[in-house]
A and B are shown apart, each in its own frame.
Chain A
Amino acid sequence: EPEVTQTPSHQVTQMGQEVILRCVPISNHLYFYWYRQILGQKVEFLVSFYNNEISEKSEIFDDQFSVERPDGSNFTLKIRSTKLEDSAMYFCASSLLAGTNEQFFGPGTRLTVL
């Protein structure tokens, strides 16, 4: 069964450093998403991406964040200058169609900022 994969599973970085989180969505899906879950809190939408551009973004997704689909399979989230409060689990998701918006989630990358 096709699935969304994410690498790495755990990333530790120093405050102020740049990190890139990687995702491989399900191959025939057209819509891609990033979410985050701070420990003990709810899952929060960051951004959606379609046709090589951002479709929607939340107020959390500020100038320190960027997304890219560098090739036909990967979807990345870059955090330019990490802060302590960026420590969270980051989930990638993809969906085939926007209509029913059934999103398939990856296992997540746990980001720890020291």
Chain B
Amino acid sequence: AQSVTQLGSHVSVSEGALVLLRCNYSSSVPPYLFWYVQYPNQGLQLLLKYTSAATLVKGINGFEAEFKKSETSFHLTKPSAHMSDAAEYFCAVSGSGGGADGLTFGKGTHLIIQP
């Protein structure tokens, strides 16, 4: 069984400040981990993924995430927030055991950017 916990349903940062969105996972098998972003009235767009290669993963729009097995975490960061980053962010996990695994999502974090 897998689960994802995202701490903070809402995170507010100032434009230009560091963005940190937290994600902790639970998985009985080596996980694949993903961050998706959802802009208003749109679908989910993949930001980045961890698939057992490098533990520091770089994604689109300047985001990156670090896989820490000892902490079962996969936190998302961006050094300098931009107004266009305002959106809902979802962390997701799937098993690496093969097959068409469904993704297990966290509840999401709404990122608010203050001017």
Contacts and interface: CB of A to CB of B under 8 A. Distances in A.
A17 interface: no
B20 to A, nearest CB: 20
Contacts of A46: 102
23 contacts: A31-B100, A42-B90, A42-B106, A43-B90, A43-B92, A43-B103, A44-B105, A45-B105, A47-B102, A48-B99, A50-B100, A56-B101, A58-B102, A91-B43, A93-B44, A95-B100, A99-B51, A99-B96, A100-B49, A101-B101, A102-B34, A103-B103, A106-B43
Contact of A105 (B44, B49, B51): B44
Interface of B: 32, 34, 36, 42-46, 49, 51, 90, 92, 94, 96, 98-108
Nearest to A103: B103
A99 B97 CA distance: 8
